[in-house]
Amino acid sequence: DVQERDAAATRARIDVAGALGGIWHPHCARIHPAKLAAGLAEAAERAGVRIFEQTTARSIEPGRIVTDQGTVRADAVIRATEGFTANLRGEHRTWLPMNSSMIV
């Protein structure tokens, strides 16, 4: 399914000066991360999930997260720390962020 694109085909698809070529994956996509996060948060809250924003996670363990504001316990914990996971206790050198799509 992967298709190689020459310079002209690449420039026709994306306006990048000096593009020499590219690869097109028909089953890959890029999304707007803020819209995705907002939509997922809305759906999760409708399902009864509690979301803790503006809260620093000190450590993430099975069934609990120790935060700067106390400990949160849950049947399921979702790690949504993106490129900042390496800053958590016990995670140093186990994660190497290569790309960050955080919006400030």
Q: What is the pLDDT of residue 59?
A: 84
- Answering whether pTM is above 0.85, one says no
Q: Does one domain contain both 59 and 91?
A: yes
Q: Does one domain contain both 22 and 68?
A: no
Structural domain containing residue 58 = 32-104
Q: What's the structural domain count of the chain?
A: 2
Q: What is the pLDDT of residue 47?
A: 96
Q: Does one domain contain both 72 and 99?
A: yes
Q: What is the pLDDT of residue 98?
A: 55
Q: Does one domain contain both 51 and 17?
A: no
Of the candidates 24, 16, 22, 80, which has an alpha carbon nearest to the alpha carbon of residue 51? 80
Strands (E), 1-104: 3-6, 21-24, 57-61, 64-67, 70-73
pLDDT along the chain (104 residues), means of 10: 89 84 83 86 94 85 91 85 64 58 48
Q: What is the pLDDT of residue 104?
A: 39
